Amino acid sequence: MPAADATLRVLSLLAGQRAPLPAARIAAELDLPRSTTYDLLSVLVEHGYVLHLAQERRYAIGPSAYEVAAGYARHAPLARVGRRVVERLVDATGESGHLASLSGSDVLYIVEERAKGRTSLVTDIGVRLPAHLTATGRAMLAQLTPAQLRTLHSGREELLRRTDAPSPATPRQLRELLRQVRADGVAWESGEVTEGFRSVAAAVLDQAGWPVAAVALTWEEHRVDEEQAQHLADRVREAAGEIARMVSGRRAG
């Protein structure tokens, strides 16, 4: 089916880009007629698989594509590979770990490994939580483009909270927090999901730099000082890099 083939080629091209593309560039890259390209893009935009940035006259991968990626993550190598890495991370640190993917504006937990003697957490496999509240969600959101973030959190609506701990209340505050996450290379969360618990997470990036998942550690805040927390952050970064290399086939560099 030529139309299906062209549609998948458009999605694959956009998924591999770090910046939106104009329709003319898409048509040229894929050797498609411009009229066909515009027709395909129109349908993909309607269903949320592609974003149309009208002011820039460019197109980018859309949030519905991430729903497909989340479904893949639940059943395919990411969860199997990630489980082995998370198990080793938990054994090495003695703290509970998990792996999550983005599903719209939520995170979906696909691997959960509780450390021996540690308290059960809310992050069981299959649980969804608002991405802006979690360390895993923040780690992944920080890697999205501004346009993609706007589709998830547009306007001035107040963001959901679970506890009384300080957390971003508006999309603007969330964007400010995500800038810090990008600078640090990891995302933190303290008492915003469960009171008394802290988490640190790092994004698992594909070859194009898109977040396919995030790996995290969670612990009771009173047991771990700041120096120890930074050590845990380093181990989480290493684990995220290991998963990324295994999923993409890249070698350690």
21 within some domain: yes
Does residue 212 sit in the same domain as residue 166? Answer: yes
Does residue 102 sit in the same domain as residue 153? Answer: yes
Instruction: Using the 3D structure, point to which of 43, 61, 79 is the last residue of a domain.
Output: 61
Instruction: Using the 3D structure, point to which of 46, 61, 76 is the last residue of a domain.
Output: 61
DSSP string across 35-104: HHHHHHHHHHHHTTSEEEETTTTEEEE-HHHHHHHHHHHHHSHHHHHHHHHHHHHHHHHSSEEEEEEEET
249, 109 Cβ separation under 8 angstroms? no
* Interval 25-68: pLDDT, tens: 999 999 999 999 999 999 999 888 898 988 888 998 887 776 67
181 within some domain: yes
* Interval 154-178: pLDDT, tens: 666 788 888 989 899 999 999 999 9
Q: Which residues contact 13 (CB under 8 A, 6 or more apart)?
A: 21, 26, 29, 30
- Domain enclosing residue 127, as ranges: 66-248
- Whichever domain contains 103, its CATH number is 3.30.450.40
Residue 116 burial by Cβ neighbours in a 10 Å radius (0-12, 13-18, 19+) = exposed
Q: Determine the Cα–Cα distance for residues 226 and 42; give it in Å rounded to an integer.
A: 50
Instruction: Using the 3D structure, point to which of 61, 80, 97 is the last residue of a domain.
Output: 61
Does residue 53 sit in the same domain as residue 79? Answer: no
The reported pTM is 0.72
Does residue 44 sit in the same domain as residue 85? Answer: no
Does residue 111 sit in the same domain as residue 51? Answer: no
Which helix H or strand E contains 145, and what residues bound it? none
12 within some domain: yes
Does residue 85 sit in the same domain as residue 55? Answer: no
Does residue 77 sit in the same domain as residue 186? Answer: yes
253 within some domain: no
Which of 25-34, 65-74, 185-194, 235-244 shows the lowest per-residue confidence on average (mean pLDDT)?
65-74
Number of domains making up the chain: 2
- Whichever domain contains 17, its CATH number is 1.10.10.10
Does residue 55 sit in the same domain as residue 92? Answer: no
